[in-house]
Structure 1
């Protein structure tokens, strides 16, 4: 799975970030934000780092791999 390391765009700067409800206040979490063409993921402990961005197809493949046990 390829990720896209590029500078934040205005859309990314305005993204609505959220943590999974499964995190239950844990400190070692990631945050995600829906984007028009996919999703962005970042470290919740260091939000100054550039988020990873994935296309919808990449994120779907990742989630399918987790759900089916192939990842």
Structure 2
């Protein structure tokens, strides 16, 4: 199934410079978050439930996904 996500506001991290490619995120409403490759904005996007996205980003911030600590 393909859904047009072009009407949403996509953003990159403030740590990303203009020259670097990275992921972009959009809050899609209805409890969903979209994630796509900034090099291919018309390409596919992954859509996650907002609570799962927030759990994922909280683990990143807390260092919970840092494999160098294992």
**Unaligned regions of 5+ residues in structure 2, if any?**
66-70
Higher percent of residues as helix: 1
Q: Which portions of structure 1, spanning 4 or more consecutive aligned residues, are displaced by more than 2 angstroms?
A: none
Q: Which protein has greater RCO, CA pairs closer than 8 Å, 6+ apart?
A: 1
Considering only aligned residues, what root-mean-square deviation do their CA atoms show, in Å? 1.5
Larger gyration radius, structure 1 or structure 2: 2
The TM-score with structure 2 as length reference comes to: 0.76
Q: How many residues align?
A: 64
The TM-score with structure 1 as length reference comes to: 0.75
**Unaligned regions of 5+ residues in structure 1, if any?**
1-5
